[in-house]
């Protein structure tokens, strides 16, 4: 093998792995790490390499697969007709080639195209039998997806009965999404509640439809636009007619689709919506061009990945040039130092932007920014802008790159970097101002102690006046202290003190979360509260007991143990306890556990739970596990290969038999966070 072959094999392998990684982030975690444009460039490069060197192609290449594996959380549903992806391009020349290709296959026919917006959401297929909605299924890997009927109906308005359906069974395919207005309202609410924001409407749509906890989905308003109708027997002649039927049956369709006869009409449509897409109520990332006649679609057929009768023209993300003014280094409450780029304000996707986070030291070193650099900033559907390029030709000579500081920008303590991590920390937990103030802000936020009267400004004022340095100091505040602060009057001072007093009623898990122990988010705080029931037991818990909890790995367990062994934290906890905070689970909370006093039998193996995790969740939900079926048993949870004798006995005794998903719904899985 030649050296150049080796380099190509390596590039193909690296690209294949990288694309798989991004597929996982995008489709499974709903948290893309790179823009769609950057992702599409990676795929394009791999497609080209595979075309030139087909013998080096990796088996199961992501250029030939669709979406991601179904979750296996809910029953798998096969698609009688595969749900494919779309061929896509960012180049107008390729649209011209597409039209030419289509015309070549059917040269004697007059061909028309339907141009319609490409909505940036999640593809769903809705099945109807005898005019009734029977299932809503995700695309999954194109051949089978997840049945999400219950969840989807909870957050979307869909026609559940179609009175005048001329066919016994059919499928409506389309895109679920969140409108721009609902997304903004939802994120504004989360901001007020101190919760992390969703990056874009597509992520929240996918997150909602994948949610394990149906209660979490409540209040999230999604919409659905139908873009195709699949029938077992031909029933209509054109795609345009299908769209008209969908609208007649009560499906929302974007009424801006247009039938175009030639390339020039297609281009006019593409250009028009490039200018006007921000005016639409829903985010679109391109235009889909489809051959209108179904007969002609059949003639053109499909590849394994996409139909040959359609193509998506994708709009490039909005970008703008600006000048880098500075990079500052922000210290978070856990001591993590993050570089933030500040640049001359520019308008992108309708809003002014002037800052972009650079994530970590490695990224800063790799990009070697200089003050005054001309930078290219990109903002797609995402709310967070990114720096995607530097114009080196514009760089002024004799400037030095901006380096990551060696010591904390706030307290000058030398920074520390754990082996194998890309992040620098300031280890000065006791005196580093942004860390201490960050901890206080975390403590008062709505998800923690919900002391709403205190925001960043009040924290600053209390700090300046040397009244508050730790969370425990809040509970020592007196009226005379607060009234002397700038901006406080009798009423506001009393309100603040009342707010602090009422925070003493917050339950034990919220107190645990409020402490800001590294890695202990609100769900893990709940798990710890349920498992240990009181602070004292948790404080004394050996590493082995923490490790026995399925959600806790070695790093988290070590952090928790180290936290409770730290004398400063012990002093803080003692102060908070004497202030009267809830240091144990309330009896009432135990009685409210979703399966209190229930008896459960499990049988078989499970997709999502290990047997140990399932047993743990049952206990955490307040139920008791029993081994044999009797009239005293409340539920049987049956997995694959569940014992037939057990199931028959349960049926005879009319004991409800639950699948894995039913059980998760019952225990409000997400709120207990068991695995
Ligand atoms: N940023 C990342 O890391 C990352 C990772 C993986 C995938 N992605 C994005 O996902 C894309 C690949 O996903 P894909 O296979 O779903 O392709 P796609 O989203 O580009 O195109 C196919 C999909 O378009 C949707 N669609 C919207 N409007 C439509 C309409 N009017 N008619 C027909 N279909 C319509 C359908 O859901 C269909 O399944 C990538 O091109 C990229 O944009 C991004
Ligand atoms: Zn510091």
Are residues 572 and 642 located together in one domain of the fold? Answer: no
Residues 515 and 530 in one domain: yes
Domain for residue 422, yes or no? no
Q: Which domain holds residue 392?
A: 320-417
- Are the CB atoms for 195 and 207 separated by under 8 Å? no
- Would you state the structure tokens that stand for residue 325, as one six-digit string? 């003014």
Give pLDDT tens digits for 111-122.
999 999 999 899
In a domain, 425, yes or no: no
Question: What DSSP element (H or E) covers 327?
Answer: strand 318-331
The CATH number of the domain holding residue 168 is 3.30.470.30
**Hey, how many other C-beta atoms are within 10 angstroms of the C-beta on 334?**
17
Whether 158 contacts 171, CB under 8 Å: no
**According to the annotation, is 39 in a ligand binding site?**
yes
Q: How far apart are CA 24 and CA 1, in angstroms?
A: 33
Helix axes 456-464, 433-444, angle to 10 degrees: 130
Judge if the beta carbon of residue 36 lies within 6 A of ligand 1: yes
Spatial separation of the C-alpha atoms in residues 591 and 249, rounded to whole Å: 47
Tell me, what DSSP letter sits at residue 27?
A: I
Whose CA is closest to atom 36 on ligand 1?
A: 123
Give 467's DSSP letter.
-
- Tell me if 452 sits within 8 A of 483, measured CB to CB: no
Q: Which residue among 314, 329, 350 closes a domain?
A: 314
**Could you tell me if 298 and 288 are in contact, meaning their C-beta atoms sit under 8 angstroms apart?**
no
Give ∠ CA 366-389-36 in degrees, rounded to 5: 100
Q: Is residue 437 part of a domain?
A: yes
The ligand whose atoms approach the alpha carbon of 426 most closely is 2
How would residue 597 be classed by pLDDT, with cut points 50, 70 and 90?
A: confident
Extract the tokens encoding 309.
């009768």
Longest Cα–Cα distance in the chain: 90
288 shares a domain with 142: yes
- Does residue 65 sit within a domain? no
pLDDT in tens, 274-291: 989 888 889 899 999 999
- Using a 6 Å cutoff on CB, does residue 442 contact ligand 1? no
- With 60 as the cut, is the pLDDT of residue 675 above it? no
Give the residue among 233, 254, 85 at the shortest CA–CA distance from 179: 254
Identify the pLDDT of residue 673: 31
Indicate which residue's Cα is closest to atom 16 of ligand 1. Answer: 85
Q: Please work out whether the CB of residue 239 comes within 6 Å of at least one atom of ligand 1.
A: no
Indicate the pLDDT class of residue 74, thresholds 50, 70 and 90. low
List residues with catalytic annotation: 118
Q: What is the pLDDT of residue 1?
A: 61
Pocket test for ligand 1, best of 38, 39, 251 (most atoms within 8 A of CB): 39
Q: Indicate the residue among 587, 609, 638 that finishes a domain.
A: 587
669 — pLDDT class (breaks 50, 70, 90): very low
Q: Is residue 69 in a domain?
A: no
227 lies in the same domain as 82: yes
The alpha carbon dihedral of 399, 402, 408, 413 has a sign of negative
Q: How far is the CA of 243 from the centre of ligand 1 (A)?
A: 20
SS3 263: helix
Within 277-391, residue ranges assigned H as helices are 294-300, 361-367
Do 232 and 254 belong together in one domain? yes
Is 523 in the same domain as 654?
no
Burial class (CB in 10 A: 0-12, 13-18, 19+), 269: buried
Q: Is the CB of 322 under 6 A from ligand 1?
A: no
Ligand 1 in contact with 68 (CB < 6 A)? Answer: no
314 labeled part of a ligand binding site: yes
Decide if 231 is inside a domain.
yes
CB 443: neighbour CB atoms within 10 A? 24
- Say if CB 127 and CB 137 are below 8 A apart: yes
List the Cα angle 606/612/615 in 5-degree steps.
85
| Total domains, the chain | 5
Burial class (CB in 10 A: 0-12, 13-18, 19+), 425: buried
Residue having the nearest C-alpha atom to atom 14 of ligand 1: 85
Check whether 175 is labelled as a binding-site residue. yes
The CATH number that applies at residue 52 is 1.10.287.610
Instruction: Starting from the CA of residue 283, give the closest ligand.
Output: 1
82 and 230 inside one domain: yes
Can you give the pLDDT at residue 584? 86
**What CATH number is attached to the domain comprising 399?**
2.40.50.140
Give the residue with greater pLDDT, 165 vs 445: 445
Q: Is 224 in the pocket of ligand 1 (CB under 6 A)?
A: no
CB-based contacts of 480: which residues, under 8 Å, 6+ apart?
none
Q: Residue 68 CA: which ligand is closest?
A: 1
Task: Say if residue 156 is in the same domain as residue 302.
Answer: yes
User: Among 293, 314, 335, where does a domain finish?
Assistant: 314
Identify the pLDDT of residue 75: 64
Cα 337 to Cα 104, 334, 401, 409, 547, distances in angstroms: 59, 9, 18, 9, 29
Burial (Cβ within 10 Å: 0-12, 13-18, ≥19) of residue 51: exposed
151 annotated as ligand-binding: no
Phi-psi region of 522 (alpha: psi -120 to 50; beta: other; left: phi over 0): alpha
Same domain, 556 and 657: no
Residues lining ion ligand 2 (Cβ < 5 A) are 408, 410-411, 413, 426, 428, 432
| Residue 428: inside a domain | no
pLDDT band at 656 (very low <50, low <70, confident <90, very high): confident
Among residues 569, 466, 558, 567, which one has the least CA distance to residue 516? 569
Dihedral, 526, 527, 529, 535 alpha carbons, nearest 10? -120
Q: 232 pLDDT band (50/70/90 cuts)? A: confident
Asked whether 347 and 450 are in contact (CB, 8 A), the reply is no
Same domain (yes/no): 530, 563:
yes
Which CATH number belongs to the domain containing residue 639 in this structure? 3.40.50.10190
Average pLDDT over residues 123-146: 92
Q: Is 635 one of the annotated binding-site residues?
A: no
Determine the pLDDT at residue 393. Answer: 83
Same domain for 366 and 248, yes or no, is no
Mean pLDDT of 350-354: 77
Residues 304 and 349 in one domain: no
Tokens representing residue 385 in the block: 């802008």
State the burial class of residue 402 (Cβ atoms within 10 Å of its Cβ: 0-12, 13-18, 19+): buried
Contacts of 387 by beta carbon, 8 Å cutoff, 6+ apart:
341, 356, 358, 367, 375, 376, 377, 378
- Return the DSSP state at 58: P
Please, where are the H alpha helices in 445-547?
456-464, 471-474, 479-483, 490-502, 508-514, 522-532, 535-539, 543-547
In this structure, is residue 423 part of a structural domain? no
């Amino acid at each position: 093998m030649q050296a150049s072959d080796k380099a190509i094999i390596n590039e193909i392998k690296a690209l294949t792995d990288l694309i798989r990684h991004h597929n996982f982030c995008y489709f499974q975690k709903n948290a893309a790490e790179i823009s769609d444009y950057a992702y599409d460039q990676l795929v394009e490069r791999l497609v080209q390499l595979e075309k030139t060197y087909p013998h080096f192609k990796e088996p199961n290449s992501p250029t030939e697969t669709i979406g991601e594996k179904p979750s296996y959380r809910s029953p798998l549903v096969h698609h009688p007709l595969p749900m494919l992806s779309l061929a896509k391009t960012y180049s107008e020349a390729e649209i011209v080639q597409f039209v030419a290709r289509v015309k070549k296959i059917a040269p004697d026919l007059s061909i028309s195209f339907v141009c319609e917006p490409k909505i940036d959401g999640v593809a769903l297929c809705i099945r109807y039998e005898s005019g009734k909605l029977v299932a809503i299924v995700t695309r999954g890997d194109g051949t089978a997806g997840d049945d999400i009927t219950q969840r989807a109906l909870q957050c979307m308005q869909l026609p559940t009965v179609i009175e005048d359906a001329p066919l016994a069974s059919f499928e409506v395919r389309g895109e679920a999404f969140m409108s721009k207005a609902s997304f903004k309202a939802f994120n504004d609410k989360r901001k007020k509640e101190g919760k992390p924001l969703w990056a874009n409407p597509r992520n929240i749509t996918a997150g909602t439809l994948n949610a394990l906890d149906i209660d979490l989905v409540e209040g999230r308003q999604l919409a659905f636009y139908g873009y195709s109708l699949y029938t077992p027997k031909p029933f209509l002649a054109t795609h345009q007619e299908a769209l008209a039927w969908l609208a007649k049956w009560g499906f929302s369709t974007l009424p801006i689709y247009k039938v175009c006869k030639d390339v020039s009409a297609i281009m006019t449509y593409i250009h028009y919506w490039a200018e006007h897409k921000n005016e639409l109520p829903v985010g679109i990332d391109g235009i889909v061009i489809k051959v209108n006649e179904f007969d002609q679609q059949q003639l053109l057929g499909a590849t394994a990945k996409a139909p040959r009768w359609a193509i998506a023209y994708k709009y490039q993300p909005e970008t703008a040039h600006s000048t880098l003014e500075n990079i500052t280094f922000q210290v978070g409450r856990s001591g993590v130092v993050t570089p933030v780029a500040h640049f001359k304000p520019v308008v992108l996707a309708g809003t002014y932007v002037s800052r972009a986070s650079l994530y970590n030291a490695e990224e800063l070193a790799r990009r070697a920014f200089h003050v005054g650099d001309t930078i290219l900033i990109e903002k797609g559907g995402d709310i967070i802008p990114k720096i995607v390029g530097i114009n080196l030709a514009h760089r002024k000579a004799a400037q030095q790159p901006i380096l990551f500081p060696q010591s904390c920008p706030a307290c000058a303590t030398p920074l520390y970097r754990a082996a194998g991590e890309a992040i620098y920390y300031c280890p000065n937990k006791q005196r580093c101002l942004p860390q201490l103030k960050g901890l206080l802000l975390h403590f008062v936020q709505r998800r923690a102690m919900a002391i709403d009267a205190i925001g960043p400004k009040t924290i600053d004022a209390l700090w300046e006046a040397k009244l508050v340095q730790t969370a425990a100091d809040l509970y020592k505040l007196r009226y005379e202290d607060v009234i002397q602060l700038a901006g406080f009057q009798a009423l506001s001072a009393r309100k603040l003190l009342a707010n602090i007093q009422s925070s003493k009623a917050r339950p034990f898990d919220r107190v645990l979360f409020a402490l800001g122990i590294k890695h202990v988010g609100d769900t893990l705080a709940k798990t710890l509260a349920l498992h240990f029931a009181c602070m004292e037991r948790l404080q004394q818990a050996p590493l082995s007991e923490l490790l026995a909890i399925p959600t806790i790995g070695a790093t988290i367990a070590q952090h928790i143990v180290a936290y409770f062994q730290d004398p400063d934290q012990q002093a803080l906890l003692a102060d908070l306890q004497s202030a009267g905070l809830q240091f144990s689970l309330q009896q009432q909370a135990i009685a409210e556990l979703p399966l209190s006093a229930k008896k459960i039998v499990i049988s078989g193996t499970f997709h999502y739970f290990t047997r140990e995790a399932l047993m743990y969740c049952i206990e955490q939900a307040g139920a008791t596990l029993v081994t044999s079926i009797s009239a005293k048993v409340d539920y049987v949870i049956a997995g694959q290969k569940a014992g037939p004798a057990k199931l028959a006995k349960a049926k005879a005794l009319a004991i409800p038999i639950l699948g894995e998903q039913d059980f998760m719904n019952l225990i409000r899985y997400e709120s207990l966070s068991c695995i």
